[in-house]
Amino acid sequence: MNSSQSLPASSKSARSVNRWLVLANVSLGTFMSTLDGSIANVALPTLSTHLHTSLSIIQWVLTAYLLTICATLPIMGKLSDMFGRGRIFNYGFLIFAGGSALCALSGSLAMLIVSRIIQALGASCLMSNSQAIVAETFPPTERGRAMGIVGTMVSLGSLTGPGIGGILVANLGWPSIFWINVPIGVIGYIAGLYLLRSNKESSVAQPFDYTGSALFMVGIVALLYTVSSAQDWGWSSAAVLIGVIGSVAVLAGFYLWERRTRFPMFDFSLYRNRTFAIGNITAFLSFVALFFINIMLPFYMEGVLGFSIDRTGYVMMVNPLCMAVVAPLSGWLSDKIGPNLLTTAGLAINATAFALLTNLGSHDTAGIVALHLALFGIGSGLFQSPNNSSVMGAVPRTQLGSAGGLNALVRNVGMVVGISASVSLYTTRLHHLGGSAAGSAFGASTPAILGSLHMVFWTAAGVCIVALLFSSQRLFVRNRAS
């Protein structure tokens, strides 16, 4: 503090500007990597029709990306501890840009999925380091606000994907949703060479946890692959039961290994902190529910209401735009009154919004759908930034890197589960109501589609209510402690 006070005003101003430029660069990488987790959503109906592929198959354009991130986030975090967070973060820009170019050049579904995996490796480099870089760059008096901004970029990236994707696909074709990343990635890399060069973390003389990494990758990929494929195999089939039991057994082995090894990849002791644990649980459930609408509403608007792909994109943009207005206010309020009331209120609004979605029919206008999405923007804005600040503020500085990696992992697992669960619920209910066995939004009757969608939305409302109960428990625990 004293050294800071003795600096000339110009020096303090330069340091302040540099901090916010670092935040801008980190926010760019965070937004870009989370954006591509959902930007292809609006294109799925078109791809499904043109490629004569069911929704359960075409969803792998999304799931392969998110699943790869989930499998590699802890590994990238460990490599960052060994070789420097700034360096790995910057490499992420280049890998992501290269993978994006390959996606745009893909001539088949198989090549597109492989290219998405490469793209996801770059995203994992970015996601695993963003929060830790910000935490180390900003002093404690500004860290909460900076973390809130990063959390807002995560939510904006996740939620603007369908809107931006719809606009680009309608006007420039589907490759444009990937080409747009190439110049952004190059610019981010060049900026990072300057902005992050002072962030030279000392290498940690620790051996890499190959056994733990292998166990985690096998376990998490097997589990998420099984969940994603359950609607095709049947939830009660032997393949699903074997997949779930086997993957859980591998993950249990991973947990036991991490508890006894000297240099673990995961720091499970963080979950002894009630605020951190409950914040992660509510974040997971929130992203599960939000990806119900990200994957289902485009099919409703295009398949039932007959909207064009660009009109669907514009309507989907209402959600993140409202969140962008509310999130800064909620971040400011959380510094004044704490995060608990805001996060609980946000989850309550989201649950209400999902319940209201069950009233949508076959003749609703774009304005009506937009009003429903505005509620999600308000609810998400109230929840995301205060929750992220609460989670990262609950751990000591020495564990910020591990906490940021786990927070990103929980978020991405929630996205994968949300996609898989919503598609599975939708296709199962659609088949039960006499709709298309393939689960295509364009091959079934309107009553069957609406009935299936309403069941999915009621389920999402239930997920939000469970998250709300956890958030309320955090409020009770804090009040009791005080």
Q: What is the pLDDT of residue 439?
A: 43
Which of 373 and 70 is assigned the larger pLDDT?
373
Closest by CA position to 410, among listed 194, 266, 225, 218: 266
pTM confidence score: 0.74
Q: What is the pLDDT of residue 444?
A: 64
Using CA atoms, how far apart are residues 147 and 204, in angstroms rounded to an integer? Answer: 25
> Token match 């354009």: residue?
61
Q: Which domains does the chain have, with CATH numbers?
A: 9-209+263-481 (1.20.1250.20)
Q: At what angle do helices 210-233 and 60-83 cross, to 10 degrees?
A: 170
Closest by CA position to 373, among listed 294, 444, 475, 447: 294
> Token match 């060069």: residue?
197
Using CA atoms, how far apart are residues 378 and 372, in angstroms rounded to an integer? Answer: 10
Q: CA dist 345 to 319, 356, 380, 387, Å?
A: 17, 17, 10, 12
Using CA atoms, how far apart are residues 85 and 409, in angstroms rounded to an integer? Answer: 17
* 391 Cβ contact list (under 8 Å, min separation 6): 275, 276, 279, 280, 283, 403, 407
Asked if pLDDT for residue 97 goes beyond 90, the answer is yes
Three-class SS of residue 17? helix
Mean pLDDT of the chain: 79
Q: What is the pLDDT of residue 168?
A: 83
Q: What is the pLDDT of residue 381?
A: 84
pLDDT per position as a tens digit, 341-363: 888 899 999 999 999 998 888 88
Using CA atoms, how far apart are residues 243 and 237, in angstroms rounded to an integer? Answer: 10
Q: What is the pLDDT of residue 159?
A: 66
Closest by CA position to 324, among listed 382, 368, 371: 382
Q: What is the pLDDT of residue 80?
A: 78
Using CA atoms, how far apart are residues 109 and 105, in angstroms rounded to an integer? Answer: 11
Using CA atoms, how far apart are residues 353 and 460, in angstroms rounded to an integer? Answer: 10
Using CA atoms, how far apart are residues 383 and 377, in angstroms rounded to an integer? Answer: 10
Asked if pLDDT for residue 200 goes beyond 50, the answer is no
The confidence band for 52, taking pLDDT boundaries of 50, 70 and 90, is: low
pLDDT per position as a tens digit, 238-264: 888 998 999 999 999 988 888 888 777
Asked if pLDDT for residue 399 goes beyond 70, the answer is no
